Amino acid sequence: MSRLPFRKLCTAAAAAAFVAIATPAASQGTIRIGEINSYKAQPAFLEPYKKGMQLAVDEINASGGVNGKQLELITRDDNANPGDAVRLAEELVSREKVDVLTGSFLSHIGLALTDFAKQKKVFFLAGEPLTDKIVWQNGNRYTFRLRPSTYMQVAMLMPETAALKKKRWAIVYPNYEYGQSAAATFKQLLKAAQPDVEIVAEQAPPLGKIDAGATVQALAAAKPDAIFSALFGADLSKFVREGNTRGLFKGREVVSLLTGEPEYLDPLKDEAPNGWLVTGYPWYAIQTPEHKAFVAAYRKAFNDHPRLGSVVGYSSIKSLAAGMKKAKSTETEKMIAAFSGLQVDTPFGKITYRPEDHQSTMGGYVGRTKNDGGKGVMVDFRYVDGAKVLPPGAEAKKLRPAD
């Protein structure tokens, strides 16, 4: 009777010893990617984004991983709060021992993580946040960015916008870093293309808290010839609904960032506007071989069609893997060197991370919205190479602080 507990104790001790030995060995066999995002606050974009990341991880691991190691993705929700994001980044780096950081959706959170990367000297790939400050005014050697910035997306729209020859413009945008950046860039580029333009109204409701009736009324009262919008998500839906009801868009041109993304166009359903000039993602009509292959793989994995978030998540992981493979390491300095000029194959074709400002040349689609039988789609679209709407590398480098 006395020997049984002793055997159990020995067995337990042996098991504990095995775990203690096996756990470091397992971690040594993986590359840990720490990812932080506003999942609960922005599910329309970030649920597809997470699926895109997982698809890329699964594909890479199935093909043998990177440098002989499997990828392990560790995600955290920042509650749309910069302080929480920084705290989680510290936890991922210090406690979880991640090799690199990626993620962020909201621009003010992206800026907080950009600063964290600089302070802690850790590699950070900003996948989604759009403010230009991430690679220009607040840029640093540790941070790279995937998605086209506000400057790039406004520049994509500018040829058609200037061709409208509308003099009196009203502007509406969410009052935080992304919206402020988008509005400032729109005014800068439009006035450069059309010096006699007037901004006759400017509305900046808090993110996620738009009073659509008051906003629409204020814009209508200014009697603009055209409207520029940087709204998205629920704010956009409320704005469109109220604008349709009050006739704001009737006889007026509307230029709108992001509205052509299925994350935001699909929920509008039969309220989807006709004829807006937008950036977006007409996944159903892109016929390039690399995109068709991506759609087929995504459908097979999730029995669903991709959104733009899917492309961003997928391309973020593919970028990290390509950088690690080129660096033959996950060490920060080697990753920085590898990402400078790194070329990556994505569903939108090959992109390059510019050494001068760490911005990728991923482009975007510009077209018009159409209400097609109660469903919003993009028509008459074209793909704009991101490299063609960026300032020359030498000029962009001057916008950055010295590293």
Which of 154, 141, 153, 147 has its CA nearest to residue 126? 147
What pLDDT, on the 0 to 100 scale, is given for residue 153? 97
From residue 87, give the alpha-carbon distance in Å to each of 72, 93, 95, 245.
21, 10, 11, 44
Q: Map out the domains of the chain as residue ranges.
A: 25-149+287-363, 151-281+366-388
What is the pLDDT at residue 27? 45
| Residue 268 CA neighbour count, 13 Å, CB half | 31
If we measure between CA atoms, which residue out of 166, 159, 164 comes closest to residue 224?
166
Q: Given this structure, which CATH class describes domain 25-149+287-363?
A: alpha beta
* pLDDT for residue 8: 40
Please write the tens of the pLDDT for every residue from 10-52: 334 444 333 333 333 334 689 999 999 999 999 999 999 999 9
C-alpha dist (Å) from residue 361 to 95, 155, 286: 34, 13, 19
DSSP letter at 138? T
Cβ-contact 125, 142 below 8 angstroms:
no
Contacts (Cβ under 8 Å, ≥6 apart) of 358: 135, 139, 141, 143, 144, 145, 339, 340
Q: Check residue 29 and give its pLDDT.
A: 86
Instruction: Please give the pLDDT value at position 400.
Output: 95
Q: Which of 150, 155, 118, 110 is nearest to 134 (CA)?
A: 110
Written as tens digits, the pLDDT of the chain (403 aa) is 333 343 343 334 444 333 333 333 334 689 999 999 999 999 999 999 999 999 999 999 999 999 999 999 999 999 999 999 999 999 999 999 999 999 999 999 999 999 999 999 999 999 999 999 999 999 999 999 999 999 999 999 999 999 999 999 999 999 999 999 999 999 999 999 999 999 999 999 999 999 999 999 999 999 999 999 999 999 999 999 999 999 999 999 999 999 999 999 999 999 999 999 999 999 999 999 999 999 999 999 999 999 999 999 999 999 999 999 999 999 999 999 999 999 999 999 999 999 999 999 999 999 999 999 999 999 999 999 999 999 999 999 999 998 7
Write out the CATH class of domain 151-281+366-388.
alpha beta
Q: What is the DSSP string of 269-312?
A: GGGPPSS-EEEE--GGG---HHHHHHHHHHHHHHSS---HHHHH
For residue 9, what pLDDT is reported? 38
| Closest of 240, 319, 317, 322 to residue 67, by C-alpha | 322
**269-325 tens-digit pLDDT:** 999 999 999 999 999 999 999 999 999 999 999 999 999 999 999 999 999 999 999
SS3 (DSSP) at 104? coil
Nearest to 273 by CA among 368, 182, 156, 157: 368
Return the H-helix or E-strand segment holding 145: strand 143-145
Task: Give the tokens for residue 378.
Answer: 């993009």
What are the residues whose beta carbons fall under 8 Å from the beta carbon of 266, sequence distance 6 or more?
A: 375, 376
DSSP element (H, E) containing 324: helix 308-327
Question: Is 151-281+366-388 in the same CATH topology as 25-149+287-363?
Answer: yes
| Bridge partners of residue 378, in order along the sequence | 369
Q: Rounded to an integer, what distance in angstroms lies between the CA atom of residue 295 and that of residue 304?
A: 9
